[in-house]
Amino acid sequence: MDKIKELTDRLDMTRIPRHVAIIMDGNGRWARERMRGRSEGHAEGVNSVHNITRHASDLGIKHLTLYAFSTENWNRPPQEVETLMYLIGWAIRKETPELLANNVHIRLLGEIDRLPEQVRKDLEAGRDATAACDGLNLNLCLSYSSRWEITRAVRRIAEDVLDGRLSAGGIDEKTIASRLSTEDLPDPDLLIRTGGEHRVSNFLLWQIAYSELYFTPILWPDFGQEAFLEALVDYQSRERRFGKTSDQVKEENPN
């Protein structure tokens, strides 16, 4: 508890990242360390989603984007995929009332049509129930991969050019960004990956061009308030230069 207080004191509430994205990895290893099945690791991971969403909301983070199931995860053993789908549907049904009470707006990113019909309906019910909420934006990435999303954006742009709605010369970065699943969201300020791997696994490749990357060996089911605060404090210790020099940045932000 003391550690949480110390970290909270160190956190500059005026510089909380607007958008935090998380690759929630390590459920399987968490379970294996305990001689339990992978499903139990995933079930435990749902608790972390609950806790981190609450902390993000309390801290005033505006957008939290969670990588819950990747396009590549469809290649896992069918039984594991089935468990994950069941858990996703169950979790959204269970969590929606509290999310609604906390003014959290659920958004769905990815190829949602590929999910089993009932899970898709549960997710859409959660999204629709919270549509008017204007607190934390909780962006759930499901059957998501960045290359899928970029390919779809290119297809959409090609259609617009063919139909005369857009000229090839008029395509700029905004044209592309607005056709990604993230549409109007600002780019992540901070990308966290739990579970010890140092890779991005096809997540938000366009959007993380200038994000701060934070990797922790902590497995997702063990990632709680303290670990989250550590990541935020670390983020605040960094100087985001966006290609400029350190002197320029200091001049622009004298405090």
Per-residue mark of binding to Mg ion, 21-60 (x: CB under 5 A): ----x-----------------------------------
* 193 part of the interface to Mg ion, by CB under 5 A: no
CA atoms of 21 and 213, how far apart (whole Å): 10
Q: CA dihedral in degrees (28, 29, 30, 33; nearest 10)?
A: 130
Active-site pick, 2, 9, 12, 25: 25
Q: Which among 106, 225, 231, 206 has a CA at the least distance from the CA of 148? A: 206
For residue 113, indicate whether it is catalytic. no
CA atoms of 41 and 46, how far apart (whole Å): 9
Q: Which does 84 bind (CB under 5 to 8 A by kind): Mg ion, ligand IPE, none?
A: ligand IPE
CA atoms of 142 and 119, how far apart (whole Å): 11
CA atoms of 128 and 106, how far apart (whole Å): 8
> Which range in 122-130, 159-167, 195-203, 237-245 contacts ligand IPE by CB under 6 A?
195-203
Count of residues in contact with Mg ion, rule CB under 5 A:
1
**CB-wise, 102 or 215, nearer to ligand IPE?**
215
Binding residue (CB under 6 A) for ligand IPE from 199, 238, 240, 241: 199
Angle (nearest 5°) at CA 25 between 19 and 30: 135
* 68 part of the interface to ligand IPE, by CB under 6 A: yes
Contact predicate 141/68, CB 8 Å: yes
In the complex, minimum distance from the CB of residue 248 to Mg ion, in angstroms, rounded to a whole number: 39
For residue 25, indicate whether it is catalytic. yes
Q: Which among 169, 103, 175, 172 has a CA at the least distance from the CA of 135? A: 103
Q: Which does 17 bind (CB under 5 to 8 A by kind): Mg ion, ligand IPE, none?
A: none
**CB-wise, 7 or 49, nearer to ligand IPE?**
49
* 201 part of the interface to ligand IPE, by CB under 6 A: yes
In the complex, minimum distance from the CB of residue 143 to ligand IPE, in angstroms, rounded to a whole number: 10
Q: Which does 70 bind (CB under 5 to 8 A by kind): ligand IPE, Mg ion, none?
A: ligand IPE
Segment holding 128, helix H or strand E: helix 117-129
Active-site pick, 51, 73, 102, 202: 73
Window 8-47: residues binding ligand IPE (CB under 6 A): 23-29
CA atoms of 181 and 107, how far apart (whole Å): 10
Token pair for 143: 């059957």
Enzyme catalytic residues: 25, 73
Q: For binding to Mg ion (CB under 5 A), which residues are involved?
A: 25
